[in-house]
Amino acid sequence: MARVIVDCAIYKDGHRTDGPDDLSDALDQARASGAFLWIGLHEPTEEEFALVTSEFGLHPLAVEDALTAHQRPKLEVYDDSLFMVLKPLEYDDATATVTSGELMVFVGDAFVVTVRHGEGSALAEVRHRLEKDPELLRKGPASVLYVISDTVVDHYVEIASELQVDLEELESSVFSPNVSDSGNTASTIYTFKRQALEFRRATGPLMDPMNRLTSSGVPFVAESIRPFFRDVADHLTRSNEQGESLDRLLSDILAAHLTQVGVRQNDDMRKISAWAAMAAAPTMVAGIYGMNFEHMPELHQTWGYPAVMTLMAGIVTFLYVFFKRRGWL
């Protein structure tokens, strides 16, 4: 069990004390002293999580979700606890990729259990931030849920800003007159669109849980902590708007790029058609005079050959000037 326990502490009157080595009576100790217990776990197995499940009375459906991961952001209310799923995001600027982890939070009357999957959702920073604010800690286990949510959502805002910068660079490259490799450009746009989709998968479904936490009727969330969740909901709304804006802009950029490709192809076809027409005229004349009939105009005239060559040159020149004026060449 020690392998998966990242941190364990009891918080009383806004201050931290180290958690007990034996979890069997930790919750009773916390309740008796008016404190609460916070246990952080990283990718536990079913056997390793069994003790926590039995001691804290966690609902088996929530436990199953916490162990298997791959959940959408959500909030579920059970008799003895709340169960919330968040998807922390990380953005690699070097590869322009968004990766998501998963963070499950159980909140009860005197305990918080966090289960994280992936490397992008470490909570050490969250603990340090919370432990520096005793007044907030005194609001109980819901304060932990607030700080976790606030940290995750604030990171969404940062990632959205980074994606916006990269999108502006992509837009400049797409509309650059020097861009000619349409295949790679379209692939880049689609790849970026997948990153925007990954972002929206994390932020979009979280809006409903945040709205529920700001309203009355959710157990284990006191009235005094609800304004803090409203602040998180405001930041999340901005993140969702940025995500939707990114998606719309990417769709517009892709449509504009495909239009550019179509215009470029039409221009190429006009040029090919013009050159083909200029090649066809002398080919036709040469074909006629290559049929070797005996009685043909100018066939036996000394000026016949230069006249035909002049005719072919004149036709080609006329077609060239005509197509040039039309903008085909």
**290: domain CATH number?**
1.20.58.340
Same domain, 279 and 199: no
pLDDT at position 155 is: 92
- Asked if 148 and 290 sit in the same domain, the reply is no
106: enclosing H helix or E strand: strand 102-107
Q: 156 with 241, same domain?
A: yes
Residue where one domain finishes, among candidates 236, 260, 284: 260
Same domain, 16 and 108: yes
Pairing of the two strands 111-117 and 36-42: parallel
Q: Domain containing 9 — which CATH number?
A: 3.30.460.20
Which amino acid, 63?
A: V
Same domain, 134 and 59: yes
What span, in angstroms and rounded, lies between the C-alpha atoms of 177 and 156? 34
Are residues 82 and 154 part of one domain? yes
CA distances from 62 to 94, 206, 302 (A): 37, 17, 101
Check whether residue 219 and residue 303 sit in a common domain: no
Length in residues, the chain: 329
SS3 221: coil
Query: What pLDDT is attached to residue 214?
Result: 92
Residues 254 and 274 both lie in one domain: no
Domain co-membership, 241 together with 277: no
DSSP, residue by residue, 64-80: HHHHH----SEEEE-SS
Same domain, 250 and 232: yes
pLDDT value of residue 233: 95
- Residues 150, 156, 159, 161: is their CA dihedral positive or negative? negative
Give every CB contact of residue 165 below 8 A, 6+ residues apart in sequence. Answer: none
Token output for 59:
């609902």
Name residues whose C-beta falls within 8 Å of residue 139's C-beta, 6 or more positions apart in sequence. Answer: 222, 224, 225
Question: What per-residue confidence (pLDDT) applies to 211?
Answer: 93
Domain enclosing residue 155, as ranges: 5-260
pTM, entire model? 0.77
Q: Are residues 25 and 43 in the same domain?
A: yes
pLDDT recorded at residue 209: 94
Domain count for the chain: 2
Last residue of a domain, one of 241, 260, 279: 260
Domain co-membership, 207 together with 98: yes
Domain-ending residue, one of 260, 276, 295: 260
- Written as tens digits, the pLDDT of the chain (329 aa) is 555 677 888 898 888 887 666 676 778 888 888 899 999 888 888 888 888 888 888 999 999 999 987 889 999 999 889 999 999 999 888 787 888 889 999 999 999 999 988 765 568 888 888 889 999 999 999 999 999 999 999 999 999 998 888 888 888 877 776 655 555 777 788 888 888 889 999 999 999 999 999 988 899 998 999 999 999 999 999 999 998 988 888 888 888 777 777 777 777 777 777 777 777 777 777 776 666 656 566 666 666 677 777 877 888 788 777 777 777 66
Residue 185 CA to residue 190 CA, distance in Å, equals: 9
Q: Give the model's pLDDT for residue 219.
A: 92
Two structure tokens written together for 77: 């209310």
